[in-house]
Amino acid sequence: MSEVASKKGMVEMSGCSVKEGDLPTANVEGKEVPWDPAQLRKISEHPCFSENACHFFGRIHLPVAPKCNIQCNYCVRKFDCVNESRPGVTSKVLMPQEALELVRDVMEKVHYIKVVAVAGPGEPLFNEETFETFRLVKDEFPHLMRCLSTNGLLLPERIDEIEELDIGTVTVTLNAIDPAIGKDIYSVVNYRGKRYKGEEGAEILLKNQLEGIREAVKRKILIKVNTVLIPTVNDEHIVEVAKEIRKLGVYMHNIIPLIPQYKFANIKPPTQQEKEAIQEKCREYVKEMTHCRHCRADAIGKLGKDIQQRMYSE
């Protein structure tokens, strides 16, 4: 067990502490499915899934996935941008072999890295390079936790590959559970060769997100849901998201304040107080993440103490 876990003697869970040996369960299709204790022990070293771990351990994000299959109204993906710290930004896109070489270099120089992840700059499940990269890293560094972020559109059809690669933690961005709200968040959904807009696109995306989360939980993959807090669009709806993901057996919920850009450039971002008020309401239903640092797609290091500029320049 890790230093953090041994200090605590417990596993953090849904806003409380649950003793190991008294592990919680998720209700999946009417059956109580216990969370995998091995996974719960692992995430005691995962800086995103454990607030304690973020002080001790780090992660490396491999920017191997440039293509995206949806267009969110708040998202602008940028390459060669070193001065922004937010999702969708990277200084360069790597090929899988380059990503493996970067992991080798980082692991030689930095000994607190526990997690290797793919979080963009596009949609990881829409890029075959994601899977090739994970295969290479798994073969050479099997002890590293594997993690990815996704919009969830392709999660149901790629869940078997995710399980095969032993990707134990997955973050799904779920901004609404009502297509009438989702249509105002997503401009276009590209699915199986067709472009969908409006409620039709939002409905397809939502259906696949929920199905994908269910399938992941069945396989004892731990899920974190990210929700972008967009004032006047979904701010009064986020508690409903929290209620729904509790039913699905999601481990953690992360509310991310809007960064005004693209079509939402003129929306005033929520204040810290507004965000905390919604978190407090959601905490009744699901564990809330409070230590997010809006990581770049090429982030390396501990949360808030990134070292990617140094690693890429050496």
Residue 1 has pLDDT above 70, yes or no: no
Confidence of residue 26 (pLDDT cuts 50, 70, 90): low
In the chain, domain spans: 33-313
> Computed over its alpha carbons, how large is the radius of gyration of the chain?
18
Give the neighbor-by-neighbor strand order of the sheet with 58-61.
252-257, 222-229, 167-173, 145-150, 113-118, 58-61, 300-302, 305-306
| Residue 257 CB partners (closer than 8 Å, separation 6+) | 228, 229, 269, 270, 272, 275
- Evaluate whether 255 touches 282 at the Cβ level (below 8 Å): yes
pLDDT at 100: 98
Average pLDDT, the chain: 83
pLDDT of residue 95: 97
User: What's the pTM?
Assistant: 0.83
pLDDT at 5: 38
DSSP 88: T
- For 264-314, the pLDDT digits (tens) are 999 999 999 999 999 999 999 999 988 665 678 888 887 666 655 665 566
Give the pLDDT confidence of 35-84 residue by residue, as tens digits: 667 767 777 777 777 766 555 678 899 999 999 999 999 987 654 443 44
The yes-or-no verdict on residue 127 having pLDDT over 60 is yes
Distance CA 181, CA 237 (A): 9
Query: Does the domain formed by 33-313 have CATH 3.60.20.10?
Result: no
For residues 245 and 237, the answer to whether their CB atoms sit within 8 Å is: no
- Report d(CA 40, CA 217) in Å as an integer: 13
Taking residues 87-93, what's their average pLDDT? 74
